[in-house]
Copies of this chain bind each other. A is one copy, B any other.
Amino acid sequence: MKSKITLKELAKLLNVSISTVSKALHDSPEISPKTAERVKELANLHNYKPNPVAVNLKKSKTGTIGVVIPNISNSFFAKVLSGMEAEAQEHNLQVITYISNESLDREKQICDLLTSGFVDGILIAVSEETQRKKDYDHLFALVDYDIPVVMYDRINIDLPADKVGVDDEQSFFEAAKYFQVKGLNKIGLATAIHHLGVGQLRIKGYGKALKEPNLPIMAAATKPTELRKKIKSLITEDKIEAIMCTDFESTIMTTRIAYEEKIKIPEDLKVIGYIGKEVSEFLTPSVSYIEQHPNEVGANTVKLLNKRLEGKAVSGEFEEKIISTSLMHLESTKF
Contact = CB atoms under 8 A, between A and B. Distances in A.
Interface string A280-295: 0011110000000000
Contact of A73 (B1, B78, B248, B284): B78
Contacts of A212: none
| Total copies of this chain within the assembly | 2
B284 A52 contact: no
Contact of A54 (B57, B118, B256): B57
Interface of A: 1-2, 4, 49, 51-54, 56-57, 62-64, 72-73, 75, 78-79, 81-82, 85-86, 94-99, 101, 115-118, 144-148, 248-249, 252-253, 255-256, 259-260, 276, 278-279, 282-285
A219 to B, nearest CB: 16
The main secondary structure of chain A at its interface with chain B is: mixed
A256 B284 contact: yes
A148 to B, nearest CB: 8
Contact of A278 (B73, B82, B259): B73
A20 to B, nearest CB: 22
Contact of A86 (B52, B99, B278): B99
Nearest to A66: B94
